[in-house]
Amino acid sequence: MGKIREIDVSELIPLIRNACREMAMEYGCDIRDAIRQARETENERARSILDLLLQNAEIATSEQIPICQDTGMIIAFASVGQDVHFTGGSFQQALQEGVRQGYHDFALRASVVADPLYDRINTKDNTPAVIHTEITEGDKVQISLMAKGFGSENKSAVAMLTPADGEKGVIRFVLDTVKKAGPNACPPFIIGVGIGGTFEACALLSKKALLRPLQEKNSDVRYAALEDRLLQEVNALGIGPQGLHGVTTALKVQIEQMPTHIAGMPCAVNICCHVCRHAKVVI
């Protein structure tokens, strides 16, 4: 059995605060590279849009202006080692406090409403973040954060496919979802696909798939091949950057899979715009 490690939750606050800034202002290098590569094969208008996105990223970083005005809703995937003992207050509240400070101090847009259906009153500090926690072995805390824009979140979907639907069914569902997303979700996309598990687990998988660096493929060669095939088919739709036609509808398709029931094959597609913001905090 490991020795208990004490962590004061207040240590989290500045780390989360800074991660909020980093996500809002810094475009991932992997996205930059993927766009640079995509521009080589694009038509003139699509190329000028991709160039504009690269220029935008430069300005965002050098002048510390958010890449996009929708600075998103924060999702936190926390893995907490079972040998960790939190002190100094509530872990959840510290996380929320980090988000609050980050959005306030770096002038990010507060985009969260307290009640989804009736009042819809802005909480003014972008909290609460959505927090998913899992217990792991060891004495570390790792928090993967995402700042998800809703232009693309709104276009995501879950389908309870059947075993007989097979690979074809997955491809059809991904293509249908991308077609429906169209220009509104700010292509080029990064597309997270979750296959297996249960109704809610595949949705989580599809979101976690967006955290993976774009240069990494699925470790199972069959799924890696399906990622490539899906990317090809998605780009053959011709939607293109901003939906203004071209061959770069998506930069990457990333699949995560897990065991499921004999009777089912849940499948989730989490669409993310090119502003795919994530960061990792480790204590």
Partner 1 sequence: MKKLTLPLSMEERRGLRAGEGVLLSGTVYTARDAAHKRLHEMILNGEELPFDLHEACIYYVGPTPATQGRPIGSAGPTTSSRMDPYTPELIHHGLRYMIGKGRRSEEVKEAIRQYDAIYFVTVGGAGALLSHCVKKRRMVAFEDLLAEAVTELYVEDFPCYVGIDRYGNDIYDEE
Residue 18's binding partner among ligand SF4, partner 1, none (Cβ under 5 to 8 angstroms by kind) is none
Q: Give the interface size with partner 1 as a residue count (CB under 8 A).
A: 39
Asked if residue 5 lies in contact with residue 283, where contact means CB atoms within 8 angstroms, the answer is no
Is residue 253 a contact point for ligand SF4 (CB under 6 A)?
no
Nearer to partner 1, 18 or 184 (CB): 184
Q: Which of 275, 278, 279, 281 binds ligand SF4 (CB under 6 A)?
A: 275
User: Is position 70 an interface residue for ligand SF4 (rule: CB under 6 A)?
Assistant: yes
Contact 189, 270 (CB under 8 A): no
178 binds ligand SF4 (CB under 6 A): no
# chain residues binding ligand SF4, by CB under 6 A: 9
Contact mark string toward partner 1, 153..192, x via CB under 8 A: -----------------------------xxx-x------
Tell whether residue 185 is a contact of ligand SF4 (CB under 6 A). Answer: yes
Is 14 a residue that touches partner 1 (CB under 8 A)?
no
**Residues 40-79 interacting with partner 1 (rule: CB under 8 A):** 45, 48-49, 52-53, 55-57, 59-60, 63-71
Residue 151 binds ligand SF4, judged by CB under 6 A: yes
Q: List the beta bridge partners of residue 192.
A: 254, 270
- Applying CB under 8 A, does 110 fall inside the site for partner 1? yes
Q: Which does 225 bind (CB under 5 to 8 A by kind): partner 1, ligand SF4, none?
A: none
**Integer Cα distance of 18 and 15 in angstroms:** 5
* Binding range to ligand SF4, per CB under 6 A, among 104-112, 146-154, 194-202, 247-255: 146-154
Whichever of 163 and 182 has its CB closer to ligand SF4, that residue is 182
DSSP the chain: -PPPEEEEGGGHHHHHHHHHHHHHH---HHHHHHHHHHHTT--HHHHHHHHHHHHHHHHHHHHT--SSS---EEEEEEEEETTEEEESS-HHHHHHHHHHHHHHHTT-----BS-TTTT--B-SS-PPPEEEEEEESSS-EEEEEEEE-HHHHTT-EEEEE-GGGHHHHHHHHHHHHHHHHGGGG-SSEEEEEEEEE-HHHHHHHHHHGGGS-TTPPPSSHHHHHHHHHHHHHHHTT---GGGSSSS-SEEEEEEEEEEE-TT-EEEEEEEE-S--EEEEEE-
Residues of this chain that bind ligand SF4 (CB under 6 A): 68, 70, 149, 151-152, 185-186, 273, 275
Residues of this chain that bind partner 1 (CB under 8 A): 45, 48-49, 52-53, 55-57, 59-60, 63-71, 107-111, 122, 124, 149, 151, 182-184, 186, 242-245, 273-275
